[in-house]
Structure 1
Amino acid sequence: MQIGSVSLAGRLVLAPMAGVTDRAFRQVCREHGAALTVTEMVSTKALCYQDKKTPALLALGEGEHPAAAQIFGHEPETMAEGARIARAVSGCDMIDINMGCPAPKIAGNGDGSALMRDPALAARVIEAVACAVNVPVTVKFRKGWDEQSQNYVEFARMAEQAGAAALAVHGRTRAQQYSGAADWEAIRAVKQAVSIPVAANGDVAEPEDVLRILDATGADMVMIGRGALGDPWIFERANALLATGVCPPLPPFAERIDTAVRQIELAAAYKGERVAMLEARRHVNCYLKRQSGLKAFKTRICALERLEELYHLAEELKQTVQDG
């Protein structure tokens, strides 16, 4: 797979998710077969105003290439300058522009999915960013603002003409947020309308869904978001299914818990134990999503404060669930 000058070793991409796809989680997903990872979205205004916390979100892991840095905003000049800073700070191989985030605090400021309501401004943003950096620029967007304004095909053509090297399409409108079914036919229409690579996004929870969405959309790549939470193996299992037609099983529960612990250890090394343990409350619970009868453990996970507590809890979990 080729995006501009960047070659990918596979077709599966880890979607950017605010507060989720930090360096630790991206590293684990890369180790399990994600061909491309994308940072959490960062504000170009924050970058331009030299906010001290923002650059940390752009830090890539050792050997995390190819990788994209995702930026958001709606002012062409600020987006261009922010893209230059993001590229310099991270050493990323691509810049991804968020034009799909439905969160009120993002869209309400004219950023994210709000740009789908102003394609002319979106075009100026893409052109400005593409001219500002010497790496491929990609764009992630949705079907449209709501059911009455679905402009995904026109928006995709505009993005290509403005200089986008690839597109990622989430098959829902901004109004849907993450509810209802993703419209894979809309993604197919985008793929047929442009000549650049297209990543399909939405309702990919199992390896078999990768085959289904590729078949339904004709897309070049699959971008996996929530389906990867607590399940980085979705990438290697889907890769195997694509290559051989056979989907390997999930690893034993003990191995899955060990991976959860390792992810939190990496997070602690990158951002400190206190922050990592607060975030562990969500991440570790995600690793238990396929296992029933662990309600008491899930409650305890939400009170974790130290790595030592996580180590003890992990051993208890492995003793409780012994599936070989």
Structure 2
Amino acid sequence: MNSNAHTSPISVPPLSIAGLLIHSRVITAPLCNNSDRPFREIMRSMGAEMMFTPMVSVEGLTRDDWGTWNILDYEGERAPVGVQIVGSNPERMGLAADIITKRGGVAWIDINMGCPAKHVTGNGNGCAIMKTPEIAVECVKAVRANTNLPVSVKLRSGWDDEHLNFIDLAPACQEAGADAIILHPRTRKQGYSGSANWEHIAQLRKVISVPLIGNGDITSPADAIRMMRTTQCDAVMIGRALMGNPWLITACASAIDKFIAGEITHEDQVPGDEMIYPDGEESEISVRVPHYMKNVSVDERLALVIEHTRTNIQYKGEKRGILEMRKHSQHYIKGCPGAKRMREKLMTITDFEELTQAFTQFRVALKEHTEKRNNLNLNQPR
């Protein structure tokens, strides 16, 4: 694993969010139930720089709810760490910002105005607050008044296609004190279906002067460059695509550095997400992977699953650590022959030794699959 945060041989200026200097233009999104401490440590070991905790409710935080505080497990963590808060009560938002700031250890506060989940929007929070822009602006003002940390707002395009108000709300948030805007250009009605409309990011770039971070549908370095090129955003944020695939971080960051430095000018010059067999057909184990992962061996992928599990157990204990790793493990082995059977097996495993044995057996099965495929290809008429 890469033990350092993103470093590049190319000299490019860092992104500045109200004085917070971020050298990687790829930011890891807050992921509910996923971007916990073990996840962040694994991502950092693979090159991530700016990381966020999962979204936390200001109601739970300000009422001293244990579960909410458990999410904020960043004491002693390598900086920078950001916290994303969600709520619709300006007073509570301000109090939460004050608590987070005084606790220390945080570099950035993000205000969630984009979560589409029903249990969040049903309380008037997340994307629902975009339906009451005056309250949204008051929330930004309250957070700004209670912290000296950089403050950003993460928006969607709007509630639905008939209520696309990002183009008005974002400048209002900037005027209220937001130091950056993050836009996921889908509506709440879309959820995560359909395509993100990157044209909305390009439109927003023309009406705000603070840093703009684009989010949505980045699954390859080519996607990252295309978003940067077509929208003029200052950085990209990647979320779900990183599940089981931290290699995407460094691949995108390296490509963006080259783009900013002028070494490349178009997404066609960097790998996309087309699937290939790495190293031809000569490897002991060879499975199809995205082109940008051609130098990542199956052994590296399996070793990282084990390391992620070990880290999870370190923070959460064996039973809970293995249970919560199931959602991550299935992403690490995605695309591998026999992945479906392996996922089913993982659902029954409850201890670390059994897990390591299962992955050892999985590796043997992958090797046998590669041998069969290679023998079949050798016997094909040329």
Q: Given the two structures, how large is their TM-score scaled by the length of structure 1?
A: 0.95
1:118 corresponds, among 108, 111, 132, to: 132
Q: Which residue of 2 aligns with 1:301?
A: 346
After superposition, where does 1:140-219 map in structure 2 within 5 Å?
A: 140-219=154-233
> For the residues of structure 2 that align with 1:160 and 1:251, how far apart are their CA atoms?
41
After superposition, where does 1:308-319 map in structure 2 within 5 Å?
A: 308-319=353-364
1:40 corresponds, among 48, 51, 54, to: 54
1:11 has 2:56 as partner = no
> For the residues of structure 2 that align with 1:313 and 1:192, how far apart are their CA atoms?
53
CA deviations over 1:15-51 (Å, ceiling 9, x no partner): 1110111111112112222231111011111111111
After superposition, where does 1:98-117 map in structure 2 within 5 Å?
A: 98-117=112-131
5+ residue gaps, structure 1: none
Letter of the aligned partner of 2:40 in structure 1?
A: R
- The structure that has the greater radius of gyration is 2
1:107/1:114 contact within 8 Å kept: yes
> For the residues of structure 1 that align with 2:251 and 2:335, how far apart are their CA atoms?
16
1:287 has 2:301 as partner = no
Greater CA deviation, 238-247 or 204-213? 238-247
CA deviations over 1:147-172 (Å, ceiling 9, x no partner): 10001110110110010011110010
Q: Aligned Cα RMSD in Å?
A: 1.7
- 1:111–1:250 distance in 2 versus 1, CA, 3 Å: farther
> For the residues of structure 1 that align with 2:295 and 2:325, how far apart are their CA atoms?
21
Letter of the aligned partner of 1:315 in structure 2?
A: T
Identity %: 34
5+ residue gaps, structure 2: 1-14, 259-263, 265-269, 272-291, 372-382
> For the residues of structure 1 that align with 2:175 and 2:321, how far apart are their CA atoms?
42
Greater CA deviation, 92-101 or 299-308? 299-308
> For the residues of structure 2 that align with 1:243 and 1:94, how far apart are their CA atoms?
23
1:128 corresponds, among 126, 139, 142, to: 142
> For the residues of structure 2 that align with 1:230 and 1:90, how far apart are their CA atoms?
30
1:29 has 2:43 as partner = yes
1:281/1:303 contact within 8 Å kept: no
Letter of the aligned partner of 1:203 in structure 2?
A: D
Q: Which residue of 1 aligns with 2:254?
A: 240
Size of the aligned set, in residue pairs, is 324
> For the residues of structure 2 that align with 1:314 and 1:88, how far apart are their CA atoms?
44
Q: Given the two structures, how large is their TM-score scaled by the length of structure 2?
A: 0.81
1:172/1:181 contact within 8 Å kept: yes
Letter of the aligned partner of 1:48 in structure 2?
A: T
> For the residues of structure 2 that align with 1:191 and 1:66, how far apart are their CA atoms?
26
